[in-house]
Structure 1
Amino acid sequence: MATDEMRKDLGAAIAARQELGADYEPEIIDGFLEKLDARAAARYGQPVNAPLPAAQPQQPPGKPDGDPGGLALAIVSVVAGIPITAIAANMEGTIAVIICWGGLVGVNLARSISRFMGR
């Protein structure tokens, strides 16, 4: 198993460090890392010094491309607002309706602001 081989190699590197002292530590670490790179290259079929793939460009904040969450939240808010309005109007009156809709607007506004700020 590859993990057992790596453990043996790491154990050998630690033993060599203990034997040779701190003066040879950078060389021991470099040797171990080279073995690790070679093993990874053999496993994944890439050369040892292959360049890393370029990072994908990040979407600039404020562009909701491909994010239907805002629309879904708005639809759910309107659907939830209907019974909330009925219950609030029946129980407490106009002030309660205003407070409930203020909360729904606040939730949608907070999501829009966090989306715009790049969260």
Structure 2
Amino acid sequence: MDTRQDELRRDLDATLQARKELGKEYEEELVDSFMKRLDARLDARVERSVASRLDDYEPDHRDRDRRRSHRPWAPGRAGNRLAVISLALGIPLTAIASSPESGGFVGLLACWAGIIGVNFAAALGNRRDREERRPRGDWD
């Protein structure tokens, strides 16, 4: 039998012997005391188990990035929202900018150059943020 099991059995035997000596008046206190010791042992055992599993677990940031890259549009990502909004706003802006009063073809080019510029700047900013959050290795 395991030494922890032996200790637990000795504690239980001691509790039962104390109940015999002290009588039924102290039964509740003795059971509570034994249960507290048992809970403490279980808590320690769970903490050791969790700690050993956490030591074995080290997430790889490349795996996380690969999982994210398979989703073409994630509602929580700001870059995707900006792209969708700029495309939605691009339709009326194209109509306005391409009208003869607003410059025609030159207005159209200026409008889409601005939309592309905003999206490009946002993409560069997101890339820079990801690189700053990435853990550095010994060779970086």
TM-score range, shorter chain: 0.3 to 0.5
Q: Which has the higher contact order (CA 8 A, sep 6+)?
A: 1
TM-score (norm 1): 0.44
TM-score (norm 2): 0.38
Q: Which protein shows a greater Rg? A: 2
